[in-house]
Amino acid sequence: MMRKHCILLLALLQLSSHSPAQGCIAQTYASQVGVRERTGHNDGREVEMYLRTCGLGPGYAWCAAFVKWCYTQCGIDTRGMTAWAASCICWQHVIMRGGTGSEPQAGDNITFWDYAHQRVAHTGLYDHRINDSFYESVEGNTNEGGSAEGDGVYRKKRSYRATYIISRWTSN
């Protein structure tokens, strides 16, 4: 009985550490899982809706536009965020870098470094910890293989160590 109460208390503490905005972001990105491009060329009703958030039309890479769209649906100030993946890093609130730092929360931004091009090449949203090495994310413009140039919104299993930066755009 005591164990059940401890587990319940821990669950409540974890929920209370998330802001209402973080919860909104999680609901928003979860509602988009399964969206696919219409022709495989960065197009389609939802993809174009994400791109419009950045002032762009069909045909552009849209992982960052997906992140920006999710945040704006929840009233998050995304000034400075564009359709460029690196612009999604909130440098004032870096949670984790290269697998070390604080515990991320659902809705935190994730970015991935492309060593061949020496730049951030992809972005998405952190969902939850799987174990000490891996977490689940939701990402736009990816695919089953985890490409930075995919065809839809997918849930992905990602490595903390392979993630460049996790940052938070909300105030908690």
Domain ranges of the chain: 18-167
Residue 106 has pLDDT above 90, yes or no: yes
Over the chain, what is the mean pLDDT? 90
How does residue 172 score in pLDDT terms, banded at 50, 70 and 90?
low
The CATH number of domain 18-167, selected from 3.90.1720.10, 3.90.1150.10, 3.30.870.10, 3.40.50.300: 3.90.1720.10
Count CB atoms within 10 A of the CB of residue 135.
Answer: 22
Which tokens is 144 given? Answer: 């089953």
* pLDDT score of 149: 86
Residue 103's CB is within 10 A of a number of other CB atoms, namely: 11
Three-point CA angle 92, 97, 103, nearest 5°: 85
Q: What is the pLDDT of residue 153?
A: 98
Cα 138 to Cα 146: distance, rounded to the nearest angstrom: 11
Residue 143: the pLDDT is 94
Model confidence, pTM: 0.88
pLDDT surpasses 50 at 98:
yes
- The amino acid sitting at 111 is T
Return the minimum-mean-pLDDT range out of 10-14, 103-107, 167-171.
10-14
Structure tokens at 149: 């140039």
Tens of pLDDT along 117-163? 999 999 999 999 999 999 999 999 999 988 888 999 999 999 999 99
